[in-house]
Amino acid sequence: MSKKTEPARPEARLPKGLFDVSAGEIRATEGMLAKIRGVFESYGFEPLGTPAIEYSDALGKFLPDQDRPNEGVFSFKDDDEQWLSLRYDLTAPLARYVAENYQRLPKPFRRYQVGPVWRNEKPGPGRYRQFTQFDADTVGASSAAADAELCMLAADTLEALGVERGQYVVKVNNRKVLDGVLESIDLGGDANVGKRLAVLRAIDKYDRLGEEGVRALLGKGRKDESGDVTKGAGLTEKQANLIVDYVRTVENLRETFGSAPIAAKGIDELEEILKLARAAGYDEKRIVIDSSVVRGLEYYTGPVFEAELTAPIADDKGQPIRLGSVVSGGRYDGLIERFTGEKVPATGISIGVSRLLFGLQRLGKYGESATQGPVVVLVLDRDRIPDYQKMAQALRAANIRAELYLGEGGLKAQMKYADRRGAPCVVIQGGYEKAKGEVQIKDLVLGAKLTALDRDEYLKKQEEAQILVPEAQLVENVRAVLARHKG
RNA sequence: GCCGCCGUAGCUCAGCUGGUUAGAGCGCUUGACUGUGGAUCAAGAGGUCGGCGAUUCGAAUUCGCCCGGCGGUACCA
């Protein structure tokens, strides 16, 4: 009876697709967010915050027939048996916000927003169940100028983050053109919804699969390297040819498809966006028309855009990585109408912050610069902790990151701790120094450079990295050490 | 979801066709060592061999199912 049953212990583990964020990553991300924010602010967008949780039906992911939300969103019921969901993007909450506050808002309403979003999907390479988006949207403007401006914003933002011209491209297309093309191969009408979606998905994969892959998807279907089969759209060869021709070239769009009124409208809009961008100095290396851009199938109604890094990116083993788009967006004129019944034009872009950061780091734009740790005040005499605390406080008062060693270890352990924290130097005051009213300041950065062969020599040299100063001059001497190792 | 590859210590891996108490390097803790990071030396901690079941006298090793990871693919607001 002496042996009690082990208490059931939870396993310390992280749900898949979610990640802890280290100090270095947080610093890198925050630096990046600050730059993005700066650009967005300069365009006049105002910040907005909305909660992570919304009613599922407001997000538009409620399945009325099944009485529960879409599987792709994390959902749960509140006390009133109402379905709530974690937001899966920042656009749906914006639509809700605008609809709810419509009378109060200046129109056009232009806001930016940054925050985590969640998707309950299988995680993959560069694909998580929580990730950060940084959005800018203009609500209440139907003009192509609003769309053009977002493309320019995307370009400016990437450049502000250090992506050079030629290392990125903003690609623009228009859903109306796509609709017109589909119509011109007799895929209009309700009967062809399935086929239309299949064709759009195939077009979207042109980048990755090339002409051959797309052709397979348009026709009978495609088998990938692992042997998995994707069903094709079942188009005739003639239809498929037209689609492939369309995707392959942006020339002669009007001649080929202009007879369809929707397509003509879309082409007008595309040309207008391009004209505005060119007038503002954004050339064809930065903003281009790309017929293969499709984007989300559910709500985009006109122009769609995406930006990608064109510079080659490789993983640790040197294998090239297909990063995908780092900015995406488009016009969604029907999203607010869902709530109000009134048509409100809107257009926006979304930066995939996590993915972009990954890409930037791969391109060497954003090293996780190991930030300098705090100055550590060592504890030699336990009963003199108040004195040590005072020294740490004096350093803080002088705007120097400093901490008292709070562990239990001996001097050696404390040195090791300071080393690991990346401390530039430590402050030491034992009985000898105290007696003379002095402190030792040991320069750890310099000390590390003096690693000699044998112990005696090492210890001797170590002393060179250590200065003895009057206690009253602690702050200025620490500051001198810090200055020595800046940058 | 589908297809493929992989699961042995904190990390990287070894363990031949089944055969005593499962190993190495790195890392970690302690000491040699003084009131001082590194190096060296010594000692130590750390493993349900992913889990369950089957075959067998005997399974880390063979087979089945499950779980997890990676990659591809599908879906993707």
User: Which H or E element spans position A235?
Assistant: none
Query: Would you say the C-beta of A121 is within 7 Å of strand B?
Result: yes
Note the pLDDT of residue A487. 55
Report the nucleotide nearest the CA of residue A201, measured to C1'.
Answer: B75
| 3 state DSSP class of A115 | strand
Query: Would you say the C-beta of A228 is within 7 Å of strand B?
Result: yes
Residue A190 is classified by DSSP as: G
User: Which H or E element spans position A215?
Assistant: helix A206-218
Residues 363-392 of A with CB under 7 A from strand B: 380
Note the pLDDT of residue A315. 67
User: Looking at strand B, which nucleotides approach a protein CB closer than 7 A?
Assistant: 1-4, 29-31, 33-39, 68-77
Report pLDDT digits (tens) over A396-438: 999 999 999 988 888 998 999 998 888 999 999 999 999 999 9
Report the nucleotide nearest the CA of residue A447, measured to C1'.
Answer: B37
Query: Would you say the C-beta of A18 is within 7 Å of strand B?
Result: no
Say if residue A156's pLDDT is above 50: yes
Query: Would you say the C-beta of A91 is within 7 Å of strand B?
Result: yes
pLDDT band at A5; cut points 50, 70, 90: very low
Query: Would you say the C-beta of A212 is within 7 Å of strand B?
Result: no
Burial class (CB in 10 A: 0-12, 13-18, 19+), A190: exposed
Say if residue A3's pLDDT is above 60: no
Residues 442-471 of A with CB under 7 A from strand B: 442-448, 451-455, 458-459, 462, 465-466
Say if residue A371's pLDDT is above 50: yes
Residue type, A293: V
Query: Would you say the C-beta of A195 is within 7 Å of strand B?
Result: no
Residue type, A155: A
Torsion of CA A134, A140, A146, A147, to 10 degrees: 70
Integer Cα distance of A46 and A113 in angstroms: 8
| 3 state DSSP class of A339 | helix
Burial class (CB in 10 A: 0-12, 13-18, 19+), A333: middle
Output the distance from A241 CA to B16 C1' rounded to whole Å. Answer: 58
Residues 162-181 of A with CB under 7 A from strand B: none
Report the nucleotide nearest the CA of residue A296, measured to C1'.
Answer: B77
Output the distance from A78 CA to B45 C1' rounded to whole Å. Answer: 48
Say if residue A166's pLDDT is above 50: yes
Average pLDDT over residues A207-235: 84
Q: State the nearest residue by CA to the C1' of B76.
A: A296
Note the pLDDT of residue A14. 80
Residues 291-350 of A with CB under 7 A from strand B: 295-299, 322
Average pLDDT over residues A95-122: 94
Integer Cα distance of A78 and A75 in angstroms: 10
Integer Cα distance of A192 and A198 in angstroms: 10
Q: What is the ipTM of this complex?
A: 0.82
Report the nucleotide nearest the CA of residue A432, measured to C1'.
Answer: B35
Average pLDDT over residues A201-215: 90
Q: Is A378 within 8 Å of A426 (Cβ atoms)?
A: yes
Query: Would you say the C-beta of A222 is within 7 Å of strand B?
Result: yes
Q: Is A104 within 8 Å of A114 (Cβ atoms)?
A: no
Place of tokens 């001797």: A460
User: Which H or E element spans position A375?
Assistant: strand A375-377
Integer Cα distance of A385 and A281 in angstroms: 63
Integer Cα distance of A36 and A154 in angstroms: 10
Report the nucleotide nearest the CA of residue A17, measured to C1'.
Answer: B69
Note the pLDDT of residue A441. 95
pLDDT band at A48; cut points 50, 70, 90: very high
Output the distance from A416 CA to B27 C1' rounded to whole Å. Answer: 15
Say if residue A468's pLDDT is above 90: yes
Q: State the nearest residue by CA to the C1' of B29.
A: A413
Q: Is A426 within 8 Å of A442 (Cβ atoms)?
A: yes
Residues 6+ apart with CB under 8 A from A161: A32, A35, A36, A356, A360, A365, A366
Average pLDDT over residues A355-365: 84
Which is more confident, A289 or A317?
A289
pLDDT band at A2; cut points 50, 70, 90: very low
Query: Would you say the C-beta of A422 is within 7 Å of strand B?
Result: no
b/e map of A37-63 (b: 16 or more CB within 10 Å)? bebbeebebeebebeebbebbbbbbbe
Report the nucleotide nearest the CA of residue A450, measured to C1'.
Answer: B38
Residues 24-53 of A with CB under 7 A from strand B: none
Note the pLDDT of residue A370. 64
Place of tokens 């806001």: A111
Q: Is A110 within 8 Å of A45 (Cβ atoms)?
A: yes
- Could you tell me the domains of chain A? 23-52+87-362 (3.30.930.10), 375-484 (3.40.50.800)
In terms of average pLDDT, the best of A237-241, A246-250, A405-409 is A237-241
Output the distance from A127 CA to B24 C1' rounded to whole Å. Answer: 36
Bond into A108 cis (ω within 30): yes
Angle of the A175-184 helix axis to the A237-248 helix axis, nearest 10 = 150
